[in-house]
Amino acid sequence: MPKVKCAIIGSGNIGTDLMAKLLRSQWLELVYMVGIDPNSEGLARARELGIATTDQGIDAFLRDPKGAEIVFDATSAKAHRQHAPRLEQAGMIAIDLTPAKIGKFVVPPVNLGQHLEAKNVNLVSCGGQATVPIVAAINRVQPVKYAEIVATIASKSAGPGTRQNIDEFTQTTAAGLVEMGGAQKGKAIIVLNPAEPPILMRNTVYAMVDDPDQAAITRSIEEMVQRVQEYVPGYRLRTEPLFDGNKITVFVEVTGAGDYLPTYAGNLDIMTAAAVKVGEEFAKHLLSKRGELVAAR
Partner 1 sequence: MASKDPIVAPRVCDTTLRDGSHAMAHQFTPEQVRAIVSGLVDAGVPVIEVSHGDGLGGSSFQYGFSKVPEEQLLAAAADCIKDKKLAVLHIPGIGTKDELRMAASYGAKVARICTHVTEADICEQHIGLAKQLGMEVVGFLMLAHMVPPEKLVEQGKLMESYGADCVYVTDSAGAMTMHDMRERVQALREALRIEVGVHAHHNLALGVANTLEAIASGATQVDGTLCGLGAGAGNTPTEVLVAVLDKMGIQTGIDVEKTMDVAEDIVRPIMPRPQIIDRAGLSLGYYGVYSSFLLHTFRASEKYGVAVRDILKELGRLRVVGGQEDMIVDVAVELAKKQGKWPPRGQHYVQL
Q: Which residues bind partner 1 (CB under 8 A)?
A: 148, 150, 152, 155, 160, 163-164, 166-167, 170-171, 187, 189-195, 204, 206, 208, 214-215, 218, 238-240, 242-245, 247, 249, 251
- Tell me if residue 126 is catalytic: yes
Q: Which is nearer to partner 1, 89 or 246 (CB)?
A: 246
Of the pair 94, 252, the CB lying nearest partner 1 is at: 252
Shortest Å, Cβ 194 to partner 1: 4
CB–CB of 212/246 below 8 Å?
A: yes
CB 280 within 8 A of CB 27: yes
Residues in the chain: 297
The residue among 5 and 187 lying less far from partner 1, judged by its C-beta, is 187
- Output the smallest distance, CB 232 to partner 1, in A: 20
Amino acid sitting at position 52: A
Q: How far is CA 180 from CA 18, 47, 177, 264, in A?
A: 24, 38, 6, 27
User: Cα angle at 110 between 243 and 121, to 5 degrees?
Assistant: 135
Q: How far is the CB of 127 from partner 1 (least distance, A)?
A: 11
Q: Which is nearer to partner 1, 82 or 214 (CB)?
A: 214
Sequence-distant (≥ 6) Cβ neighbours of residue 156 within 8 angstroms = 194, 198, 262, 264, 265
Beta carbon of residue 14, minimum distance to partner 1 (angstroms, whole number): 18
- Catalytic residue, chosen from 4, 77, 92, 126, is 126
Nearer to partner 1, 21 or 80 (CB): 80
End-to-end CA distance of the chain: 20
**What CA–CA distance (Å, rounded) separates 288 from 294?**
10
Report in angstroms how near the CB of residue 26 gets to partner 1 at its nearest: 35
Residues tagged active-site: 126
